[in-house]
A and B are shown apart, each in its own frame.
Chain A
Amino acid sequence: MYYGKVDENLIKELKNICGSKYVITDKDQMLGYRTDETIEAEKMLRVPFPDAVVKPRFVEEISEVLKLSNKKRIPVTPRGGGTGLSGGVIPVYGGIVLSMENMNKIIEIDKENLMVVLEAGVALGDLYKAVEREGFFFPPHPGDEGAQIGGAIATNAGGARTVKYGTMRSFVKGIEVVLPTGEVLNLGGKLLKNNTGYALMHLIIGSEGTLGVITKATLKLLPSSAAPMILVVPYSNRHDAIKTVLEILRGGVIPLGIEYMEREAMERSEEYLGRKWPTEKGEGCLMVMITGKDEDEIFSRSECIMRICEANKALDIFMAEQKRDQENVMEIRSKMYEALKGDMMALFDITVPPGRMGKFMKKVEEVSEKYGVSMSTYGHAGDGNVHVHLMKTDVKKYEKIKEELYEEGSRMGGVISGEHGIGLLRIGDLHISRDRKEIELMKKIKKVFDPNGILNPGKIFPA
């Protein structure tokens, strides 16, 4: 692919469009706009600088920036909160990084239709707070609350609550999107049903910023329920824990989330934060989050889940009811990645059908033993998304381990990425989960939306 150069004239034009305050070319100031939360070792590549970072405030500006870039063939990499785990915002070909940080207004909380309309740069944490104040609840929770709505939609983010509510896709009802050629489309709306031709909106969701720049979204809300309860359930082995998860899902009481964590990851996080996990028992723990309309419902659901845990050799069932106790376990859970990151080689995001999870974990154990490497596991046990953390080892071993796990995952009907996406990181492995014809169609779709290949080039497949 041929790309044009960002020269002084182009910078001038960008400044004319967005205002000079909102166009950055100083290297120091661009430092934070090069990458995301992906492990350095895993990227195994040099992270380039963009030529400019543009921070527009209005959709019209984005449209103009894209028109200009399309004309001059300048690569444009849209960027949200930079919390991704697949290198999706790395400006591989330089050019412009389009940061959405200034488009951060919550436009409307529509109480009649239970919808929120907001700009793409709103941080998830701010969204949660805003809707909570009005008595609503927005379920998808990918983890890092610094993530932005636009990025969460572009990557169809998942997270701990997917088991009960599904991924972002289930809650996005409308988007405003700017095409790489500059046109602005409004797809969907405040509708719960919409069968009018191809669902282009759903094509944009999860397209990882390669088909258009999401600038606004309409999201479905739920009425808020009573404060959730968190159960902490230690097990002496992972198989009992995973068996419990499957039985809970079959039992009909679907919790808000079921997370599985192993001792090593917990200990690393405890040390990192200077906090203490509530129990020293067990090799692994389930963390089960339960909601309900009131305390009675929460307790009766908890009781059902307790019986299943007990039948599957749970060592104890603790209850974190107070906010500070809940915050403690949530914090230890959410900082596991950060705590392990420095010593990690790779974070696998393989997802298998939930019923195969136990078998897949067994494979992880075998591979770990075979290569003599440490692979700590934690993640969203309820939805088959097993995050395997490979600690530092040599590249050759890494390649072999990856191959074996990907192969086994595929054999079980799984995919190489459940929620982190292909981005830059898994470009070479897409063919494992998608066949040739599928990839060919994807590439053709990309061409239709982005004839000059300027938008987030080098992601999902090579530019």
Chain B
Amino acid sequence: MGHGAKDEKEFNVIVLVKQVPEAEDVRIDPDTGRLDRSSAEAVTNPFDLNAIEVANRIKERLGGKVTCISMGPLRADSTLRDSLARGCDRGILLSDKKFGGADTLATSYTLSCAIKKIGSFDLIVCGEKTTDGDTGQVGPEVAEQLDIPHACFVEEIKAITESSLVVRRKTENGYMILELKLPALISVTKDINEPPLPLLKNKIKARKAEIETWSASDLSEIGDVERFGLTGSPTRVVNVGSPHVEKETMMIEGGSSREKAKKLVDILEDLGFL
């Protein structure tokens, strides 16, 4: 069996996590159209906390080990420490200048190389998207790179055994129940669980924990270095803008209810609705 080969003893879950700017602090720079992260505190992507909690609960049932992987600058080690404090057993940071400027394709390729390097795994869990990139593409792309089944927007895990997984995934107009053969990848919504706060003692321990850092050369035996980072990214961001708002709110103020109703009728007539 390939990279997804089963380890008879342990059920291995991998969680993909990312450090993002804390949502309320992010502004879009009106001149460049880029995210201005300067004032923002860096936190673990909120959806990833749901993913970690999914992994924790699976570990409670099946035992095994949870490994979290993140790609980012060196300071993103704090997100891996956060993941350790929340119950993950091992943290791996993919950090190298050569990984920089990656689009979702290069990112998913790099992550899949790291997963191959880890070796055996049964399930990969990630959040449905990150709050900064908002694409939701990296998860499914990783699954494709690894050639394993995947389900996105999973809102419930209905059953899990060592060899298969039944999930309920949200769709635009309902839901689907899917059974996946393991190893597989799922991306989860925030409705799947309520991640608990970490315990202080685990936070303190995680601060001192060792975070493995892998560079591009650590992955060079498995992957093609040219496909990492900017050189491996066909996507070019030409422009970023705010979406055009077509809804408009109008307040009808002053006067009695009757007068307000009359004004409303006038407006609706003007707009051609009446």
Q: Which of A303, A317, A325 contacts B199 (CB 8 A)?
A: A317
Contact of A319 with B203 in the complex, beta carbons under 8 Å: yes
Residues in B neighbouring A279, C-beta threshold 8 A: 196-197
A325 and B44 CA atoms in complex are apart in Å by 12
Cβ of B224 under 8 Å from chain A: no
A306 and B41 contact, Cβ closer than 8 Å, known pairs A322-B22, A323-B22: no
A278 and B199 contact, Cβ closer than 8 Å, known pairs A299-B204, A323-B24, A324-B46: no
Across the interface, name the chain B residue whose C-beta is closest to A318.
B197
- Over the window 196-213 of chain B, the binary record of Cβ atoms lying under 8 Å from chain A Cβ atoms (1 yes, 0 no) is 111111011001000000
Q: How far is the CB of B193 from chain A (nearest CB, A)?
A: 12
Q: Which of B22, B24, B196, B200 contacts A302 (CB 8 A)?
A: B200
Cβ of B43 under 8 Å from chain A: yes
Residues in B neighbouring A276, C-beta threshold 8 A: 194
Residues in B neighbouring A306, C-beta threshold 8 A: 200-201, 204
B residues 161-209 near A (Cβ < 8 Å) are 194, 196-201, 203-204, 207
Cβ of A127 under 8 Å from chain B: no
A322 and B203 CA atoms in complex are apart in Å by 13
Contact of A318 with B200 in the complex, beta carbons under 8 Å: yes
A241 and B253 CA atoms in complex are apart in Å by 52
B residues 24-60 near A (Cβ < 8 Å) are 24, 41, 43-44, 46
Contact of B198 with A318 in the complex, beta carbons under 8 Å: yes
Cβ of A231 under 8 Å from chain B: yes
A318 and B199 CA atoms in complex are apart in Å by 4
- Over the window 291-308 of chain A, the binary record of Cβ atoms lying under 8 Å from chain B Cβ atoms (1 yes, 0 no) is 000000001001100100
Q: How far is the CB of A302 from chain B (nearest CB, A)?
A: 6
Most buried by B among A278, A299, A319, A325: A319
Cβ of A131 under 8 Å from chain B: no
Most buried by A among B46, B196, B197: B197
Contact of A317 with B200 in the complex, beta carbons under 8 Å: yes
Residues in A neighbouring B196, C-beta threshold 8 A: 278-279, 318
Across the interface, name the chain B residue whose C-beta is closest to A232.
B197
Contact of B207 with A322 in the complex, beta carbons under 8 Å: no
Q: Which of A316, A320, A323 contacts B41 (CB 8 A)?
A: A323
Contact of A316 with B22 in the complex, beta carbons under 8 Å: no
Residues in A neighbouring B44, C-beta threshold 8 A: 322
Q: How far is the CB of A276 from chain B (nearest CB, A)?
A: 6
Residues in B neighbouring A253, C-beta threshold 8 A: none
A316 and B207 CA atoms in complex are apart in Å by 19
A213 and B44 CA atoms in complex are apart in Å by 49
Residues in B neighbouring A321, C-beta threshold 8 A: 198, 203
Residues in B neighbouring A324, C-beta threshold 8 A: 22-24, 46
Cβ of A227 under 8 Å from chain B: yes
Contact of B207 with A317 in the complex, beta carbons under 8 Å: no
Q: How far is the CB of A314 from chain B (nearest CB, A)?
A: 10
Contact of A299 with B207 in the complex, beta carbons under 8 Å: yes
A residues 299-355 near B (Cβ < 8 Å) are 299, 302-303, 306, 316-325
A319 and B199 contact, Cβ closer than 8 Å, known pairs A299-B204, A303-B204: yes
Q: How far is the CB of A429 from chain B (nearest CB, A)?
A: 41
Q: How far is the CB of A295 from chain B (nearest CB, A)?
A: 9
By Cβ-Cβ distance, the 4 closest A-B pairs, closest first, are A318-B197, A317-B200, A319-B200, A278-B197
Residues of B within 8 A of A (CB): 22-24, 41, 43-44, 46, 194, 196-201, 203-204, 207
- The 21 sampled A-B contact pairs (Cβ below 8 Å) are A232-B197, A276-B194, A278-B196, A278-B197, A279-B197, A299-B203, A299-B204, A306-B200, A317-B199, A317-B201, A318-B196, A318-B197, A318-B198, A318-B200, A319-B197, A319-B199, A321-B203, A322-B22, A323-B41, A324-B22, A324-B46
Given contacts A227-B41, A325-B197, 5 further A-B contacts (CB under 8 A): A278-B197, A318-B200, A321-B198, A323-B43, A324-B22
